[in-house]
Amino acid sequence: MKLRELLNGIKVLQLHADVDMEIASVAYDSRKAAAGCAFVAISGFASDGNRFIPMAMEKGASVVITAKTPEVDVPYVLVDNDRLALALIGCNFYGHPAKSMTLIGVTGTNGKTSTTLILKQVLEKLTGCKAGLIGTMENRIGDEVVPTERTTPESFELQGLFARMRDAGCSYAIMEVSSHAIALDRVGGVHFDVAAFTNLTEDHLDFHKTMEHYCDTKAELFARCDGAVLNRDDEWFTRIGAKAACPVVTTSAKGEAGVWAKDTEMMSEGIRFTAVSDGVEIPVALPIPGRFTVYNVLTVLGILKALGFDLKAAAAALKTVEGVKGRIEVVPTPGKAYTVLIDYAHTPDGLENVLRSVRDFCKGRLIAVFGCGGDRDPIKRPIMGRIGVELADIAVITSDNPRTEEPAAIIRDIVVGAESACGTYKIIENRIKAIEYAMDIAEKDDIIILAGKGHETYQEINGVKHHLDEREIVADYLQEKR
């Protein structure tokens, strides 16, 4: 591909390179630079890619694309926005692969993963077509699993993933879209057929600083789609909806909307409700428990409605969907009269939702084991402490992923909120010991919620990931007791 083709649609301020040169590859990490590549120097938070221009040139890079004038004499293209340039370069390099599929984006603080995984199953059942998935837990191309490290990949990798989906024959691509992805132009140059909003609660304020900025960043997604699905029960609905320059399908579990739920039943084995759309009532049943499952399913139905699918057929497909790993996941406890559930709840809203949902069908005591992640918004720690103690009969406060922070310091922040609540709590810093303690005190009909880790099978301490799978911890402890 020639450089001029690579730069198509990009705002170029200065051109100091031959636009007819051939570009063999693209790199934004100097360690991956190679002969004939275009090196995109990104001004990052931790380091400035412009510092590594000499290294990239030594490895054979032909041209540098940057938003800063290089300090060394190299062929370069000066652009207005380096992150957006990288995104558009990815679109051009891979031939705009997303345009060959129906692209669906889901954003919000909670519910993105479950919603996208349910939607993938339903779409494939309804159409017989292959669907790609990009999300927190994993990326999928049909049935092929592609490991992931962040909710939305960097823009160039994202386009490469879209290209793999296109080449594998995917008709649909479904992706979780994080606020970071929008703010950092990881989805730059991407237009969605339908975008959906689940909810907005306190999270990522270390990055966004205010809830208003967090909301407005999420709302940007709805300026780049042909159809929107919005949860009108959320307090940020109006502000989000103001950005939608397209037809909107609203959803609600509390009152009338484009797709809304009534006669909701909560059971330990799943949920039932009647979905109403355009005056038509449709029985819905799903083998995934939890009140928030109702909202996730309403979002799925809203997306299918926006895409023109028959909702009765969609409801039939929903009966067969499988549960989501790490989302109210039942852990086998043979021979025990209590239940252990794993859930990814790691925000105040997520913890409150899962505890209230489980309370709907818990016949005994509710025991919550939870902590907070390190190097993340510390404001939510006391809030989660208060919620855990208020809503559980017994709260066991422990470590989550302390990352580079001191685990005891994180727990002290959580305890500030725990002490303000009226309830029982115990502090056990070691997460394995905390889980074992919860199992030791559990009685008949009790439910233990292991909150925060969900699908993760590691614990990050001092920047190092150590293997930790809560399913194995439960199984091993039961075996030891036997």
Whether the Cβ atoms of residue 374 and residue 429 lie closer than 8 Å to each other? no
- Give the pLDDT band (50/70/90) at residue 362: very high
* Both structure tokens of 271: 């949920």
Domains of the chain by start residue, with CATH: 3-93 (3.40.1390.10), 97-318 (3.40.1190.10), 329-481 (3.90.190.20)
| pLDDT greater than 80 at residue 70 | yes
- Render 334-402 in DSSP notation, one character per residue: TT-SSEEEEE---SHHHHHHHHHHHHTT-SS-EEEEE---TTS-TTHHHHHHHHHHHHSSEEEE--S--
| pLDDT greater than 90 at residue 117 | yes
| pLDDT greater than 70 at residue 149 | no
From CA 101, how far away is CA 166, in angstroms rounded? 7
The pLDDT of 394-407, averaged and rounded, is: 97
Q: Which of 109, 53, 42, 121 is nearest to 82 (CA)?
A: 42
pLDDT for the residue 398:
98
Name the 3-class secondary structure at 170: strand
Burial of residue 482, with CB atoms counted within 10 A of its CB: 0-12 exposed, 13-18 middle, 19 or more buried: exposed
Element of type H or E holding 303: helix 291-306
Whether the Cβ atoms of residue 435 and residue 369 lie closer than 8 Å to each other? yes
Q: What angle do CA 130, 133, 139 make, to 5 degrees?
A: 120
From CA 114, how far away is CA 117, in angstroms rounded? 5
Whether the Cβ atoms of residue 104 and residue 119 lie closer than 8 Å to each other? yes
pLDDT for the residue 14:
97
From CA 354, how far away is CA 11, in angstroms rounded? 46
Q: Among residues of the chain, what percentage have pLDDT more than 70?
A: 97
- Render 446-468 in DSSP notation, one character per residue: -EEEEES-TT--EEEETTEEEE-
Q: Which of 89, 267, 332 is nearest to 342 (CA)?
A: 332
Whether the Cβ atoms of residue 93 and residue 26 lie closer than 8 Å to each other? yes
* Both structure tokens of 467: 């293997």
Dihedral sign from CA coordinates of 34, 183, 120, 110: positive
Residue 357 has a CB neighbour count (10 Å cut-off) of: 23
| pLDDT greater than 80 at residue 219 | yes
Compute the CA torsion angle 412, 414, 416, 420 (nearest 10 deg). Answer: -150
Instruction: Report residue 317 CA to chain centroid gap.
Output: 24
pLDDT for the residue 208:
63
Average pLDDT value for the chain: 94
Q: What angle do CA 208, 211, 216 make, to 5 degrees?
A: 75
From CA 262, how far away is CA 341, in angstroms rounded? 27
pTM of the model: 0.83
Counting other chains too, the contacts that 469-474 makes at CB distance below 8 Å and 24 or more residues apart are: 470/331, 470/342, 470/435, 471/331, 471/342, 473/432, 473/435, 473/436, 474/331, 474/332, 474/333, 474/340, 474/435, 474/439
Compute CA distances 401 → 3, 407, 461, 463, whole Å: 43, 8, 6, 9
pLDDT for the residue 94:
98
From CA 14, how far away is CA 472, in angstroms rounded? 57
Whether the Cβ atoms of residue 291 and residue 306 lie closer than 8 Å to each other? no
| pLDDT greater than 70 at residue 235 | yes
Q: Which of 3, 53, 58 is nearest to 25 (CA)?
A: 3
- Give the pLDDT band (50/70/90) at residue 369: very high
pLDDT for the residue 327:
87
Whether the Cβ atoms of residue 276 and residue 284 lie closer than 8 Å to each other? no
Q: Among residues of the chain, what percentage have pLDDT more than 90?
A: 86
- Give the pLDDT band (50/70/90) at residue 146: confident
From CA 353, how far away is CA 338, in angstroms rounded? 21
Q: Which of 177, 246, 242 is nearest to 212 (CA)?
A: 242
